[in-house]
Amino acid sequence: MNQPINTTMSARQWTELLILSLLWGGTYLYTAIALRELDPFTVALCRVAIASLFLYGVVAVMRFAMPLSSRAWIAFTGMGLLNNVIPFSLIMWGQRDVPSGLTSILIATTPLFTALFAHWTTNDEKLSANKLAGVTIGFAGVVVLLGPVAGGSTASLLSHLAIVGGAISYGLGGLFGRRFAPRGYPPSVLTTGQLTMSTIMLGAIAFALGDPMRLASASATTWGVLLTLAIPGTALGYLLYFRVLTTAGAANVMLVTLLMPASAIVLGAIVLSERLEWWHFAGMVLIAIGLAAIDGRLWRRVIGPQDRLSGPAG
């Protein structure tokens, strides 16, 4: 996610990135609506189950073969756990008390955790000066967001921390996928395998901690947002993500984390009449500055192509 990119994105790639930010930014709105009737674990289960069924159709139409090796499915289990099961459960549990727009801002911290974990677990992605500055500024934004909550109810603080926990899991999931994802398979196969294992795990969790039987009496609106959450928001979102990743590079696709909160905040305000406080926007600005510093392009424009303070920081 942090490798340098020497090319600029075309108009088509920018369009695809904007569409991806709308797809993923909208998932927080759909989740908030679904949580009015269903518990978080049932919503998470429906998201991955419907998406995986849709992608099996895609795989069949494209005549791809799913892996048969146990090693590949063990990797899919780890990817599904870190990219779907843990973050979806935590984020949806937290969203019961946290506005959808604010949720998207907290999730935008994912690259901060990715940079930290990469520094600790890899030999070629150490924290350079710009990355260290970005992580520091970004976490200052998190403090600004959580500071007022810390003085409030414990339940509200736990909800906010659960969403941050989802961002941490996403960060770990990205590193896990880079190292253990099966090689040589198209993105649709990798995503289908990951979501299949996520469905199995979330199915067990939902029936143990949630109430999936309430789906039988769910309204048409709830079913509509579940389908939208699963197919455009998850299945198509993943496919578009991998397309931008392969055509524009990892550093460029990371820009979606800067764009996603804008769409989520606008949708939350229009559809749910959500209102964010000034410190939410202040925290978002600090996180955006931190992500820009980690990305490095603005940093290189200021100090030149060479990182004058390069080398492992700390």
Q: 280 with 128: CB under 8 angstroms?
A: no
Q: 248 with 6: CB under 8 angstroms?
A: no
Is 45 a member of any domain?
Answer: yes
Is 75 a member of any domain?
Answer: yes
Structure tokens belonging to residue 52: 């995986």
Is 314 a member of any domain?
Answer: no
Q: What is the pLDDT of residue 119?
A: 84
Structure tokens belonging to residue 70: 């146990």
Phi and psi angles of residue 49, each rounded to the nearest 5 degrees, phi first:
-65, -45
Nearest to 313 by CA among 116, 180, 141: 116
Q: What is the pLDDT of residue 10?
A: 78
Query: Residues near 144 by Cβ (< 8 Å), separated by ≥ 6?
Result: 279, 282, 283, 286
Into how many domains does the chain fold?
A: 1
Structure tokens belonging to residue 275: 């209102």
For residue 147, give the H/E element and its range: helix 129-150
Q: 49 with 199: CB under 8 angstroms?
A: yes
- Residue type at position 24: W
Cα–Cα dist 201/195, whole Å: 10
Is 214 a member of any domain?
Answer: yes
Cα–Cα dist 80/76, whole Å: 6
Phi and psi angles of residue 244, each rounded to the nearest 5 degrees, phi first:
-65, -40
What does the pLDDT profile of the chain (314 residues) look like in tens digits? 344 433 467 788 888 888 998 999 999 999 999 999 999 999 999 999 999 999 999 999 999 999 999 999 999 999 999 999 999 999 999 999 999 999 999 999 988 888 888 888 877 778 788 888 888 998 999 999 988 887 777 888 999 999 999 999 998 988 888 788 888 888 899 999 999 999 999 999 999 999 999 999 999 999 999 999 999 999 999 888 878 877 776 656 767 877 889 889 999 999 999 988 898 999 999 988 888 887 776 656 665 554 433 332 23
Is 311 a member of any domain?
Answer: no
Structure tokens belonging to residue 185: 């398979």
Is 221 a member of any domain?
Answer: yes
Number of residues that make up the chain: 314
Cα–Cα dist 204/202, whole Å: 5
Q: What is the pLDDT of residue 55?
A: 96
- C-alpha to C-alpha distances, 197 to 85, 193, 223, nearest whole angstrom: 9, 6, 23
Q: What is the pLDDT of residue 81?
A: 97
- C-alpha to C-alpha distances, 4 to 127, 164, 250, nearest whole angstrom: 14, 26, 8
Q: 199 with 85: CB under 8 angstroms?
A: no
Is 41 a member of any domain?
Answer: yes
Cα–Cα dist 309/106, whole Å: 29
- Residue type at position 10: S
Q: How does DSSP classify residue 123?
A: S
Is 309 a member of any domain?
Answer: no
Q: How does DSSP classify residue 314?
A: -
Range of the domain at 291: 11-303
Which position has the token pair 């492992």? 312
Q: What is the pLDDT of residue 290?
A: 87
